[in-house]
Amino acid sequence: MTNSRSPLRIALFVGIVIQTVLMMVPLFYMLSTSFKAQNEVFTLPIQWIPSQFLIENYTQPLQEKPFLRWFFNSTFVATASTALVVLTSSLAGYSFAKFRYPGRNLLFWIIIATLMIPLEAMIVPLFVLVRDLGWLNTYTGLIIPAGGSAFGIFLMRQHMLSMPDELIEAARIDGASEPYIFWRIVLPINQPALSALAIFSFMWNWNSFLYPLLVASTDEMRTLPIGLASFESAYSTNYPQLMAVSVLACIPVLIVFFILQNRFIESMALTGVKG
């Protein structure tokens, strides 16, 4: 753009610093409040560094509510659902991209059409269905219905379209079976898209709210976001503890984010632009 020392660039830089600070302030507020005593939360002028660091705000909620169990549930359900999504999406994406059979296009477009319908719009019958299957308040009920992703299918198909046919043909001529081709050739080639889908799907599932809210009715089966919301409604005026559990709930995702930062952002972009 313009050259380095111009006032525009300096203004831009200052603007960026301000924006950075503004974005981080809420998180810092959360962290700071989490260590305060209840009567210190609203003192004026605002104390960014608490006078004392009350670790009880972190330990007490952990004793009152099964946070670890919620964390485990979220991890287990998100992992299992993601595995299912990646598997079904790559299979279906491959099928729609590289095979021809009657009804193929129709099936594809019907699945894509479901993207238009928000979960909120079908939650009522979905709930009744899960109840009728006897899957309410079970892991099965949390995992299986979340195992299909129209977005995932679309993404995988998009990527697999650009896979060279010759590779597959060659393998067929060599006598390889279709499952073998899928497993040993198609999947490895599409690995970037698969891992993007996995990250995206895991994150989406980890944060999903409305469906687990209705399906998991006891503390044992709750996932972390639902547990956190129920903790909030039960202890809504104990702000330091609320902030403490919020901090705890952030940590896993943030750790993963920092480790996989580039991958994360790339996959977002990948799914956003191409998908």
Partner 1 sequence: MKKLSVLLLLSLLLMSAGLASAQEPVTLTFWFHTHPPMVELNEQLIAEYMEQNPHVTIEYEVIPNNQFFEKMLVSMSTGVGPDIINMGNSQIVSDYVPRNLVTEVDYAAMGYDSMEDLLAQYVPNALSGAVVDGRYYGIPSEINTDMLAIYTPDLVEAGYPEDWAPTTWEELGEVAGALSKFDENGNQTHRGFDLVYLHAGWFSNQFQTLAVQTGCTYYNEDLTESTINSPECVAAAKIWRDMIYEYRAANPSLSSRESTVPLQDYIDGTVSMTFVQPWGMELIRDGNPERWENTRLVALPQVDPENPATKINAYYWAVNSQSEHPEEAWKFVNFLASHPGRWLLEVNFLQGNANMAELPEAADFPYADQWQEGLNSGNFFQLYPSANETNEALRVGLEDILYNDADIQATLDAVKEEMDLIVQ
Partner 2 sequence: MQGLSTTTKHPTPAERGLRAGWWTYRRRQQLWGFLFALPAVILFAVFAIYPILQTFYLSFFDFNLVDPPQFVGLRNFETILTTSAFRDSIAFTFRYAFGTYIPTLVLALALALALNTKLPGRSVLRMVNFIPVVISWVIVAVVWKLIFHQNGLMNVFLSSLGLYTPDWLLSRDWAPYAIIIPSIWKEIGFYMVIFLAGLQNIPTVYYEAGKIDGTSAWQAFRYITLPLLRPTIVLAIVISIINGLKIFIPPFVMTQGGPAGSTRVMALIIYQTAFANGRMGRASAMAVMLFLIILLFTLIQNRLYGTGRDVEA
User: Do 147 and 50 form a contact (C-beta atoms < 8 A)?
Assistant: no
Angle between helices 224-234 and 239-259 (to 10 degrees): 160
User: Do 130 and 211 form a contact (C-beta atoms < 8 A)?
Assistant: no
Taking CB under 8 A as the binding criterion, the range among 52-60, 63-71, 117-125, 187-195 that sits at the site for partner 2 is: 117-125
Q: Is 172 helix (H, G, I), strand (E, B) or coil?
A: helix
257's contact among partner 2, partner 1, none, with CB below 5 to 8 A by partner kind, is partner 2
Query: Which residue among 7, 44, 49, 63 contacts partner 2 (CB under 8 A)?
Result: 44
203's contact among partner 1, partner 2, none, with CB below 5 to 8 A by partner kind, is partner 2
User: Do 115 and 149 form a contact (C-beta atoms < 8 A)?
Assistant: no
Binding flags for partner 2, 133-162, as an x/- string (CB under 8 A)? -----------xx-xx-x--x-------x-
User: Do 241 and 75 form a contact (C-beta atoms < 8 A)?
Assistant: no
CA–CA dist 149, 199 (Å, integer): 13
Binding of partner 1 by 63 (CB under 8 A): no
1's contact among partner 1, partner 2, none, with CB below 5 to 8 A by partner kind, is partner 2
Binding of partner 2 by 170 (CB under 8 A): no
- Smallest gap from residue 218 Cβ to partner 1 (A): 6
- Smallest gap from residue 241 Cβ to partner 1 (A): 12
Binding flags for partner 2, 19-38, as an x/- string (CB under 8 A)? xx--xxxxx-xx--x-----
- Smallest gap from residue 231 Cβ to partner 2 (A): 9
Query: Which residue among 217, 254, 261, 274 contacts partner 1 (CB under 8 A)?
Result: 217
Query: Which residue among 37, 83, 91, 187 contacts partner 2 (CB under 8 A)?
Result: 91
Q: Please report, in angstroms and rounded to a whole number, the separation of the first and last CA atoms in the chain.
A: 30
Tokens describing residue 183: 């497993």
Cα 215 to the center of its chain, rounded Å? 18
99's contact among partner 2, partner 1, none, with CB below 5 to 8 A by partner kind, is partner 2
Residue 129, number of CB atoms within 10 A of its CB: 13
Binding of partner 1 by 233 (CB under 8 A): yes
CA–CA dist 261, 264 (Å, integer): 5
Binding-site size, partner 1 (CB under 8 A): 15
273's contact among partner 1, partner 2, none, with CB below 5 to 8 A by partner kind, is partner 2
For 138-141, the CB contacts below 8 A with 24+ separation are 138/221, 139/73, 139/76, 139/77, 139/80, 139/221, 141/215
Residues that bind partner 1 (CB under 8 A): 127-128, 131, 136-137, 214, 217-219, 230, 233-237
